[in-house]
């Protein structure tokens, strides 16, 4: 992690439009920033195309997202290609990605304005979908790619190899390839291990495997994971919960470490992550499916 003591002055603020009080709190955040030394504080809904264009075209020091982890993912996809740091204010329930609560954001923003924060660099994945030699799509993932069955309630067959070496065949509802950040998302619900966010690994975890390997595999950053789909019925892939893309028998999905990374602003000491995990497990004993 890098220690940063540069005061930030230009802010973009996005919020989830459907969350109670998110819009009102955003207005309060804008006023607070401008009254406390910010040069620019511009806001809009997280899913608004005009706001996305604004973030893409303007020079900001920080993007602030008000919402839950879904809003943070949306904001993260705006930030990463622009090397723009991200800070989350939690307006939902428990969030692994948000840093600040709805009741303590003023103190947090004062710290940011005074340059008292850290940057935590989060690894991302590059996902590419091949049919034969043709590339049909390419995405950047903060959490994961999921290759899974579609509308038919029947498992699919998936073959996974790493750097050209086959590691396992799966008969399962699906297969997740995740980042350390994604280890606390769908991968956690599927029974996978929890990886500290600053590590740089790829995680493979099957979803509801049937008479096939049911263990997670942790791989180094430089690995290339190729998943080949073997199915006679509908299967799909989804990146970070985005709308599903249909895949057919023989399609391959490649996952490698991305050249992008997500810069997360952190105000707490590095032990915050382990405290969050303990709190989450205390509130959700025996489960891992509340995102």
> What are the catalytic residues?
69
Rounded Cα–Cα distance for residues 176 and 157 (Å) = 13
Rounded Cα–Cα distance for residues 14 and 34 (Å) = 16
Other CB atoms within 10 Å distance of the CB of residue 10: 15
Helices (H), 16-123: 22-35, 49-57, 69-79, 105-113
Beta strands 62-67; 86-90: pairing state: parallel
Q: Are 125 and 255 in contact (CB under 8 A)?
A: yes
| Upper half-sphere CA count for residue 193 (Cβ side, 13 Å) | 14
Rounded Cα–Cα distance for residues 257 and 123 (Å) = 7
């Amino acid at each position: 992690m890098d220690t940063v003591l540069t005061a930030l002055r230009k802010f973009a603020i996005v919020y989830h439009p459907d969350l109670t009080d998110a819009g009102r709190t955003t207005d309060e955040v804008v006023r607070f920033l401008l009254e406390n030394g910010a040069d620019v504080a511009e806001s809009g809904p997280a899913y608004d195309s005009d706001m996305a264009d604004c973030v893409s075209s303007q020079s900001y020091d920080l993007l602030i997202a008000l919402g839950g982890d879904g809003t943070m993912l949306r904001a993260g996809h705006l930030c990463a290609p622009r090397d723009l740091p991200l800070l989350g204010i939690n307006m939902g329930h428990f969030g692994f990605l948000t840093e600040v609560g709805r009741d303590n954001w003023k103190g947090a923003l004062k710290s940011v304005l005074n340059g008292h924060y850290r940057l935590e660099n989060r690894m991302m994945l590059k996902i590419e979908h091949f049919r034969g030699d043709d590339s049909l799509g390419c995405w950047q993932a903060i959490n994961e790619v999921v290759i899974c069955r579609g509308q038919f309630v029947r498992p699919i067959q998936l073959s996974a190899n790493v750097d050209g070496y086959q590691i396992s065949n799966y008969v399962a509802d699906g297969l997740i390839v995740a980042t350390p950040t994604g280890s606390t998302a769908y991968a956690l619900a599927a029974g996978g291990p929890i990886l500290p966010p600053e590590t740089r690994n790829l995680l493979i975890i099957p979803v509801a495997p049937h008479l096939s390997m049911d263990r997670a595999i942790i791989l180094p950053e430089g690995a290339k994971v190729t998943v080949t789909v073997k199915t006679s019925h509908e299967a799909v892939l989804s990146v970070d919960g985005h709308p599903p893309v249909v895949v057919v028998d023989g399609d391959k999905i490649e996952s490698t470490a991305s050249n992008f990374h997500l810069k997360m602003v952190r105000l707490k000491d590095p032990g915050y992550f382990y405290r969050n995990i303990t709190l989450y497990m205390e509130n959700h004993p025996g489960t891992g499916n509340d995102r």
